[in-house]
Amino acid sequence: LAPGTVSNETVETLRNAGITVFALGTPATVEGVAETTTLTGRLVGECEGARATNAWMRANVDEVRTAVAGEPRPRALSLLGGGFTVGSGTFVHDVMRTAGLSNVAADAELTGYQRISPEVVRERDPEWLLRTPGVPVPDEPAYRETTAVRANQTVTVDANWLNQPAPRSIVRAVRTVALAVHPAAAADAAYVPRDAAGTPTATAEPTTTPTTTPASTTAADSPGFGVLAAAVSLAATLLAVRGRRRL
């Protein structure tokens, strides 16, 4: 299983060794993760496990989304290090929106993973900053002047949750952010255990299909993400579901 960060050279090396390689791409939304989960389930022979995983993810996302629906959406900025942030069309952007935040980078018409200028930070004045351990808040005037820094409103999220587009990552990241930003409202969002989520009976079909040659979009100066780890984690989750059913 080759996510979008795997280079063409690596894919060709594996294929030349006689290994079949499927390109999964990089999901940019919660539903994109569900589609990738469904596709992965088909590839590893775990369609039922994929359906159960998606049902669990959607049940928990719906709990949070409903709980924060009537809350104001504070301005927020996700910090990736090196001046990078996330705009629209990204997994983290969808996590932010689902948790009840407004992404100032997307509002400034940034897409994907880009550097954000101090001028835009100052102009947009984020009220909350999202970061992972090891990513500091830049010690620059534009950041020190933000409402987020002055009010000490920073949410630190495990990098395995925020940077890896997979079902478990979504559930944990969305709940963590929502509880920090909307504590009273998000407290009403019940956590749905896997065995209580239910499994749809219909066979879910992905809207994406494997491609033969995935293109790597990772540059030397781009932020690092755990997409490969997410694919491995996703496959492990599906196999764990299979193991529990056999017990």
Percent of the chain with pLDDT over 90: 68
208 pLDDT above the threshold of 80: no
244 pLDDT above the threshold of 80: no
200 pLDDT above the threshold of 80: no
Query: How far is it, in rounded angstroms, from Cα 84 to Cα 186?
Result: 28
Mean pLDDT over 12-31 rounds to 89
Mean pLDDT over 57-81 rounds to 97
Mean pLDDT over 96-121 rounds to 97
Mean pLDDT over 44-67 rounds to 96
239 pLDDT above the threshold of 70: no
Element holding 12 (H helix, E strand): helix 8-16
Element holding 240 (H helix, E strand): helix 227-246
Give, rounded to a whole angstrom, the gap between the first and last alpha carbons of the chain.
27
**Which single residue is written with the structure tokens 């509880």?**
179
Q: Across the chain, what does the average pLDDT equal? A: 84
What does the block give as tokens for 157? 């999220």
Higher pLDDT, 214 or 39: 39
pLDDT confidence of residue 89:
95
pLDDT confidence of residue 203:
40
Window from 101-105, 139-143, 187-191, 217-221 with minimum mean pLDDT: 217-221
Question: Which class for 236: exposed (0-12), middle (13-18), buried (19 or more C-beta within 10 A)?
Answer: exposed
Place 206 in a pLDDT band, splitting at 50, 70 and 90: very low
209 pLDDT above the threshold of 80: no
Find the domain containing 106 and state its range: 1-247
CATH (domain of 60): 3.40.50.1980
Place 97 in a pLDDT band, splitting at 50, 70 and 90: very high
Higher pLDDT, 22 or 232: 22
Place 132 in a pLDDT band, splitting at 50, 70 and 90: very high
How many domains does the structure of the chain reveal?
1
- Given a contact cutoff of 8 angstroms between Cβ atoms, the answer to whether 56 and 35 are in contact is no
Closest to 97 (Cα-Cα) out of 178, 186, 183, 188: 178
pTM (2 d.p.)? 0.77
